[in-house]
Structure 1
Amino acid sequence: MTTIDGLLDSTHDFVRALTAAATSCWAARRADPGVIVQHGRQWQTTDPTDSRLSFHGYGNGKVLKQPRGTAIHVHDTLGARLRAAKVMEPDRTEWFT
């Protein structure tokens, strides 16, 4: 199995499971809007050095090199969200505070 094959399989399985869960959740909330209450305490603080957050790859251990681009083209709304989240900033330490 190649890295891209493993990534495709994982993504497919994840999207399928996520879609089923989201559909079920949406139906339940639509039937009773109070069934899902979002409390501030639900957002846990994570430790970016936690080994459980690491991904060690698929197959033969080869690492897929990602190109380093200087721009991405997205819809204006998504662009504003990415800038607000500082996704393209080299220092992302604010994500973990």
Structure 2
Amino acid sequence: MRYFVLFLMTFAQLSFAGMTAMFVIFSAAGVVNNNEISEFQDLIFTLSFIVIPLSSIIVALTVLYFAWKKSAKRSYWLHLLPVLLTVIYCLYIIQFY
């Protein structure tokens, strides 16, 4: 049962990485098409495209590592990190609309 849940959570994190990558691409494109943005804002969009999906991949690998070290229960809270980064990005995007 433990490995099945671990597999589902890892699959969910990797799926979330792809979903957030597409979300950042389309939301940034929508903002750029409708607004004049500075170089700093462009840098934020570029880094968001890299950091948010990468955080999901890093969390999935970290949870797998902790499961291998037999301390996975302490690492389950890490699954919230990419969600928190996505919420912060959404709050940043809202200021353009």
TM-score by length of 2: 0.34
Greater Rg over alpha carbons, structure: 1
Q: Which has the higher contact order (CA 8 A, sep 6+)?
A: 1
Instruction: Pick the structure with more helix per residue.
Output: 2
TM-score by length of 1: 0.34
